[in-house]
Structure 1
């Protein structure tokens, strides 16, 4: 491990070389850690110089990661914590309920987990499992409804709809017509969910990201750039909520 200092901040660096690379790839994995991939034979001084030219971008990513870590929606699952649902913050309530197994109820401002016994521990497995199951059910319901709606509008018919729990992808459309979505999209505003649905359904007409494809997306979601930007800016946060 080596270190690089950018504007007074020190970063631990992991470095790997690849004969296939023609430039230096930089990944900010933590606020104090850089993952670097460089062409075989490139010297450390050359790598440092290239990282220095990207310091503005690196520090911007650091601030983004720090904001995610500080967001109250990324806290432990305790009574009073903040959760996101359909783009809005909700207060998590942990309530004692003598009625059998845990269950979840929803109101305009709160998401309540009813437990037979309150154990008072952060990230209690029963709380985590109950919340994740509830989110999955809500996501499936909303995505099924919106996919049916937009399929009729666009004039396509997906063969199957599936939910996934992925780290870096929000959706996909296979050549066989299977449309897959990351269940965490239910935490985003409804307009962002609609954008994602249309984004994938339009791939049934254009299996690429050509200008024709983006024109088709914009035909149905005129502010698609705004919704795409929201997802790019907030995707890391959504990925950390209820991460198992």
Structure 2
């Protein structure tokens, strides 16, 4: 049972250093203490309360950590919508978005007159953001399907379903029923990073944990995975400055 009263607020306002931060309150039945986290792409501050926690204590906890909240939000990258002329990474390679209003088709890649890669988007400008996002999702699904099924074949397991999302808290996940889910933003990372995520999640179909046995299994099917893991830890946040506002994955599971 969670102890939220009917009149309990869903969020509180936190004044700090001339700014006001909105802090969303969230109860969790397994929480043992008050904790704060930032949904980086949305800049949302979330304060988790234990079942018997109070709003008064939560507010005091937030006020105590106001400097931490302001500093973390201040370091976050600005969201950059997809637009004509924007340079975004595709499989780790910078591509410039070029609007081709009068041409047929939707989205495709080619090289410009200088031999540099571009992403061409046909149609009206108002649809450019959605079309680029849909294109990246399709490319992500294709690459992750290929990589995941290759690793599944190595381990002798069967993938029941594969979905592409803009996940809230992780780059990928695996269910006990064999369903895999990935963030479409992995298509912007270098291929070896996407490949590592596929190996990671497929390995969970054998080991549903992060034990030493699990990491040995990952290393067996994807030697040298550490390089990709470090890239994701250090550079992964950058992938979420692009496109429609979503939520930054912070981990893999």
Tell me the TM-score normalised to structure 2 length.
Answer: 0.70
Within 5 A, what are the aligned runs for 1:125-164? 125=127, 127-152=128-153, 154-164=154-164
1:82 is matched with which residue: 67, 76, 87? 87
Question: In structure 1, what is the Cα distance between the partners aligned to 2:25 and 2:107?
Answer: 47
Deviations 1:154-200 (A, max 9, x none): 42333345232233233222333233323221111212101110110
Deviations 1:49-99 (A, max 9, x none): 64466456434421342x233xxxx23x33212223112332110124354
Within 5 A, what are the aligned runs for 1:62-73? 62-65=73-76, 67-69=77-79
Distance 1:228 1:211, change over 3 A: farther
Deviations 1:109-150 (A, max 9, x none): 2111133xxx5x5xx12x234323322332232222222433
Deviation of the 1:205 alpha carbon: 1.6
Question: In structure 2, what is the Cα distance between the partners aligned to 1:208 and 1:29?
Answer: 24
1:10 is matched with which residue: 8, 13, 19? 19
Q: Give aligned pairs, total.
A: 224
Tell me the TM-score normalised to structure 1 length.
Answer: 0.72
Distance 1:41 1:80, change over 3 A: closer
1:36 is matched with which residue: 25, 47, 51? 47
Deviation of the 1:232 alpha carbon: 4.8
Question: In structure 2, what is the Cα distance between the partners aligned to 1:135 and 1:198?
Answer: 21
Structure 1 unpaired stretches of 5+: none
SS of the counterpart of 1:135?
A: helix
Question: In structure 1, what is the Cα distance between the partners aligned to 2:43 and 2:141?
Answer: 37
- Larger RCO, structures 1/2 (Cα 8 Å, 6+ apart): 2
Match of 2:251 in 1: none
Structure 2 unpaired stretches of 5+: 1-11, 247-253
Distance 1:41 1:16, change over 3 A: same
Match of 2:165 in 1: 165
* Alignment RMSD (CA, Å): 3.4
Question: In structure 2, what is the Cα distance between the partners aligned to 1:158 and 1:17?
Answer: 36
